[in-house]
Structure formats: structure tokens, C-alpha cells
């Protein structure tokens, strides 16, 4: 599944360094449970109800943006819809390298990432806060654009994309509404005097975050699991686990991906990978929650001072797990 080009000697050296010691020795110096540093900014598209950009600045650079667009639907219709797009692949690595081959590969990868994110993130979200009166509801269309995969493929973006979606939804504000009809025929009216910024945090409360762990197996059969694997680590992995975890630590979904030629993961190695991914997701969630709360509070202060709302708040976090 990885697009990393790695020679046989590099593969053997990397596997040895990851599995031979008491703890994995990773090429970039991170601990087994240490993801890459990241930055997330919200309010990057002021015309949207909510938006965010996530960047892993360390090479290879990963950049993802998400935007939330509201519309009004009838009660009972789908309220949260997610779609994702990925950059076009290198034409030399796709079929015959024709334009049609590249477009087909990009469309397929975008569809697969959209399904993966929808399955991992949206199935258990409490969207009751999107109800309007008794007959209507807000529908939030979440558009995720992967601007750069850092040399990887669509499967390497799940955890970064989930954080971007979380930040975009968490910063979402919707127009205020009030009842405009009688009790027998409840209607609503959009109140142009302000927005409701409580919707976003309420949605984010039940939105899980994803974390990825890769399991590698050395020549002697020893295994090791690492959080947030690099592309080289993905290239030598025998299996990759993507875990979606809610803010209260409950695992909502687990996806196991087997790289081409990976051979699969044994039960003990799979359990270790899930444990590491759960810990990473919880730390990720705690970091984002604290930072978003801080920036929302600062946005409210700015609004009272006449300096605008909570758009454009800046979030910054760093995984420093040992």
C-alpha cells in the first residue's frame, strides 16, 4: 500500500533497528508512541460555517484542509455528509500513465478515503443539535481536500484527516433560528443578527479521532508497533491498524489494512498496535479539545470587543508521548 521506494538492504536495516532493541529505534528519532508534531488552523475559509487546515511540517510535508457547508433538509434526512479528494498520483505509477488512468486512480482513491473516513468518524456522532424545530434540520457537508500526502497514498491520511475534520466541525457556527409559527405548524426563521457557535463543540464532543499504528516483523520473527508510521515504516509493515476513539476513550471502530506483501498481523501484535493507537488518539483528542476551548474563549472575548468572532483562531499541538 505504500508508495515509498525502499531497497532490500534499506528494508533489512530498518526492520532490524525497529525490532532488535528493547524499544524501536526509528529513523526520525521518535519514540514508538510519539507521533509527528502538527499545527492546525481554523477559520481558513471565512465563507464556510467551519474550516480547518492541518499541516505536518516535518518532511515529508502533509497538508489537509476541510470545509463545512450548511444546508437545510427535512427531519429524518442525513445530517452529516463527508467527501474527500486526494492529489492525482504520479502518472508513471498508474497503469499506462495516460490521463484517463490518472483520473481513474484519483477518483478511486478519493472514494476509498471518503468511505473510510465516513465509516470511522460519522457513524456514532450525536447530531441532535442540528435539529431545527420539529420538521427541519441542518445538513453539514464536510469537504476534505488532501493537498499533499507527503509521498504517501490515501490510506496514510486517515488520522491527519480525522483531526482536520474534528477541528473544522469544532469551529463551526450556524445562523441562529427562532420559531416563526404556532404550535400546530412549527416553522423556523433564520435570525440574521448572530450565529450559534455552540453547535460545533457539541458535535466535536461525540466525534472520534483516528490514530494509526504499524506493526513490523524482523527476520527473527520479533515484532514491534509504532504510532503514526512514516512512509518507510509503512513500506516495511506487515500490517497497519487505524483506530477511531471517542473522547471518553471508547473504541468506535478499528480498520486493519494489510500492505502488499505484508503477510498480516498476529493476534498479539494486533493488540499491541491497537493499544498504541488508542493511547495516541486519546492524547490527540485531549490536545485538540484544550486548544479549541482556549481559542473559542479568545474568540468570544474578541467578539465582545468588536474584533470579530472565533474565525481564524490558531491551534497548535505536538505529540510528545514517551
pLDDT tens for 74-128 read: 989 999 999 999 987 654 455 556 778 778 888 998 999 999 999 989 988 889 9
Contact 136, 70 (CB under 8 A): no
Q: How confident is the model at residue 303 (pLDDT cuts 50, 70, 90)?
A: very low
Beta carbons of 65 and 55 less than 8 angstroms apart: no
Q: How far apart are CA 93 and CA 253, in angstroms?
A: 31
d(Cα 115, Cα 109) in Å, to the nearest integer? 10
Q: Is the pLDDT confidence value at 204 over 80?
A: yes
238 in helix, strand or coil?
A: strand
Residue 182 has pLDDT above 50, yes or no: yes
Q: How confident is the model at residue 312 (pLDDT cuts 50, 70, 90)?
A: very low
Give the residue carrying C-alpha cell 424545530.
Answer: 133
Residue 317: is its pLDDT beyond 80?
no
Looking at the predicted structure, is the pLDDT value of residue 305 above 60? Answer: no
The residue ranking higher by pLDDT, 105 or 186, is: 105
Ordered alpha helix ranges (H), 53-157: 99-121
Q: How many CB atoms are located within 10 Å of the residue 262 CB?
A: 21
* φ, ψ dihedrals at 103, nearest 5°: -65, -40
The pLDDT value given to residue 152: 67
Predicted pLDDT at 314: 32
pLDDT given at position 315: 33
- What is the structure's pLDDT at 124? 81
Q: What is the pLDDT of residue 194?
A: 65
Region 292-304: what's the mean pLDDT?
A: 56
Please give the backbone phi and psi of residue 235, each rounded to the nearest 5 degrees, phi first. -65, -25
In this prediction, residue 310 carries a pLDDT of: 40
pLDDT-derived band at 320, boundaries 50, 70, 90: very low
pLDDT band at 176 (very low <50, low <70, confident <90, very high): confident
Q: What are 4-19's pLDDT values in tens digits?
A: 578 899 999 999 999 9
Average pLDDT for 206-229: 91
Q: How far is CA 204 from CA 51, 104, 126, 152, 189, in A?
A: 13, 33, 9, 27, 26
In the predicted structure, residue 279 carries a pLDDT above the cut 80: yes
pLDDT value at residue 284: 79
List all residues 6 or more positions away from 135 whose beta carbon is below 8 Å from its beta carbon.
Answer: 74, 75, 186, 187
Q: Are 181 and 127 in contact (CB under 8 A)?
A: no
- pLDDT surpasses 90 at 56: no
- Each residue of 220-257: b (16+ CB within 10 Å) or e? eeebbbbbbbbbbbbbbbbbbbbbbbbbeeeebbbbeb
Confidence of residue 257 (pLDDT cuts 50, 70, 90): confident
Q: What's the pLDDT score for residue 95? A: 53
pLDDT number for residue 6: 82
Each residue's pLDDT tens digit, 151-169: 666 777 888 899 999 999 9
pLDDT value at residue 263: 66
Whole-structure pTM value: 0.83
pLDDT category of residue 318 using cuts at 50, 70 and 90: very low
Pairing type for strands 188-196 and 174-179 reads: antiparallel
Which burial class, exposed, middle or buried, applies to 77 when counting CB atoms under 10 A from its CB (0-12, 13-18, 19+)?
Answer: exposed
CB burial string 275-289: b at 16+ within 10 A, e below: ebbbbbbbbbbebbb
Q: For residue 300, is pLDDT > 70?
A: no
Amino acid at each position: 500500500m505504500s508508495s515509498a521506494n525502499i531497497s532490500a538492504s534499506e528494508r533489512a536495516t530498518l526492520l532490524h533497528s525497529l525490532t532488535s532493541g528493547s524499544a524501536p529505534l526509528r529513523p526520525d528519532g521518535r519514540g514508538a508512541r510519539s507521533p509527528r508534531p502538527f499545527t492546525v488552523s481554523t477559520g481558513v475559509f471565512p465563507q464556510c460555517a467551519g474550516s480547518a487546515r492541518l499541516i505536518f511540517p516535518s518532511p515529508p510535508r502533509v497538508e489537509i484542509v476541510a470545509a463545512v457547508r450548511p444546508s437545510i433538509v427535512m427531519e429524518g434526512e442525513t445530517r452529516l455528509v463527508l467527501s474527500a479528494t486526494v492529489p492525482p498520483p504520479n502518472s508513471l505509477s498508474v497503469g499506462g500513465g495516460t490521463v484517463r488512468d490518472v483520473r481513474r486512480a484519483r477518483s478511486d482513491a478519493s472514494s476509498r478515503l471518503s468511505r473510510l473516513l465516513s465509516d470511522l468518524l460519522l457513524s456514532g456522532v450525536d447530531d441532535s443539535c442540528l435539529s431545527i424545530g420539529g420538521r427541519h434540520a441542518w445538513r453539514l457537508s464536510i469537504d476534505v481536500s488532501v493537498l499533499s500526502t507527503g509521498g504517501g497514498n490515501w490510506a496514510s491520511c486517515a488520522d491527519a484527516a480525522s483531526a482536520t475534520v474534528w477541528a473544522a466541525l469544532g469551529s463551526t457556527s450556524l445562523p441562529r433560528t427562532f420559531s416563526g409559527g404556532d404550535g400546530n405548524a412549527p416553522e423556523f426563521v433564520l435570525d440574521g443578527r448572530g450565529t450559534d457557535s455552540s453547535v460545533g463543540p457539541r458535535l466535536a464532543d461525540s466525534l472520534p479521532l483516528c490514530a494509526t499504528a504499524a506493526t513490523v516483523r524482523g527476520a527473527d520473527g520479533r515484532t514491534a508497533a509504532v504510532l503514526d508510521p512514516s512512509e518507510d515504516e509503512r513500506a516495511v509493515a506487515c500490517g497497519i491498524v487505524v483506530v477511531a476513539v471517542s473522547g471518553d476513550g471508547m473504541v468506535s471502530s478499528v480498520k486493519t489494512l494489510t500492505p502488499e506483501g505484508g503477510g498480516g498481523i498476529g493476534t498479539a501484535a494486533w493488540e499491541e498496535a491497537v493499544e498504541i493507537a488508542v493511547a495516541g488518539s486519546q492524547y490527540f483528542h485531549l490536545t485538540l479539545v484544550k486548544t479549541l476551548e482556549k481559542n473559542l474563549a479568545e474568540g468570544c472575548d474578541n467578539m465582545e470587543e468588536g474584533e470579530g468572532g472565533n474565525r481564524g483562531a490558531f491551534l497548535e499541538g505536538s505529540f510528545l508521548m514517551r
